[in-house]
Amino acid sequence: MTGAERKVRELFAQAGVTVDGPNPWDIRVHDKRFYRSVLAGGTLAAGESYMDGWWDVDDMAELVNRLFRAGFNYTALVNIRTIGYFISSWLFNMQNKHRAFEVGEKHYDVGNDLYAAMLDSRMTYTCGYWKEARSLEEAQKAKLDLICKKIGLKSGDRVLDIGGGWGSFAGYAAEKYGASVVAITVSKEQAALGRERTQGLPVEIRVQDYRDVSDGPYDHIVSIGMFEHVGYRNYRTYMKKAHALLKDGGYFLLHTIGSNKSVRAGSPWLDKYIFPNGMLPSVAQIGRAAERLFVIEDWQNFGPDYDRTLMEWYRNFDRSLINVAKHYTPRFYRMWRFYLLSCAGTFRARYCQLWQIVLAKRPRPARYDAPR
């Protein structure tokens, strides 16, 4: 046994994980290069070596849950392979307007067939609300309805949806509540399919950066799963733009994954393979960005619901692979599996949170009672 293998086995043992052990969260190493690679390259190397087939595990989500609960995290092992990424994130604005469309091209444009197979019928690519739901379909409908209720949506309201996706919220708000919705996205593929899916409804879907929106004011604004792409250098700019576009007395609902601590970079593996230039905001960062602009009326955390949502997405993806496999390589399958299940593990470990925050501009004098 090499020194690298001994060290990795010792680290895993601290989390109750055994190499070639009997439990579903125990890893099976197929290539001895894995040990030296993961010590030199940290979580980036762990993900890449999984993509290359150097190791396997039956229950990836539980493996990640145990590792994170034991103190491992995405940025714990800063090394020669990742230090350049962290320095760039600290020194430069990696989410400037020039880079804003990169995540659309590399992630959201990867294939509408893949997302249609993986998601619910509305193609809602954010955390579902499982309080009373029994299926992914019910959980996503409950989430969309909860958002509409939290902003007090009514017929005739004009709403800006920053993020937009495939038009799931826009279509729901228009069809069920009679709202008029402008949805913006950085993905051409999302916009094209979203327009088809919302045809005949008072919905406009644009390919546009949030910094370029200028046709306010809107009665309400929602941002559902987009703030993770904004970057810490732009949080204040984002809030100022939302404030400028919102009517007095209007509500801005921010639905975002959150971090337990303030960071200036994301996961090196996720940045390279899934969400370029992404990072998670903290309570402190959101608070500072909203200060003197909004009153925070409500802050709800249902982070554990993302574990269940991601597991449902993975099951759909895995079941539908036979139908979409002709477009994707085995290495892509392993990459996508690692993405969905490792993220589920971080929510299970409560390393990541899911927040819905209601912010008011010059709030109404009446008390705000948040729906649940």
Residue 350 has a CB neighbour count (10 Å cut-off) of 15
Residue 343 annotated in active site: yes
Specify burial of residue 39 (Cβ count, 10 A radius: 0-12, 13-18, 19+): middle
Q: Could you give the CA distance from residue 73 to residue 62 in angstroms, rounded to a whole number? A: 14
Contacts of 87 (CB under 8 A, 6+ apart): none
Of 127, 148, 343, 352, the active-site residue reads 343
Helix 330-348, helix 304-324: angle, nearest 10: 170
Question: To which residue do tokens 């228009």 refer?
Answer: 174
Question: Which residues are catalytic, by number?
Answer: 343
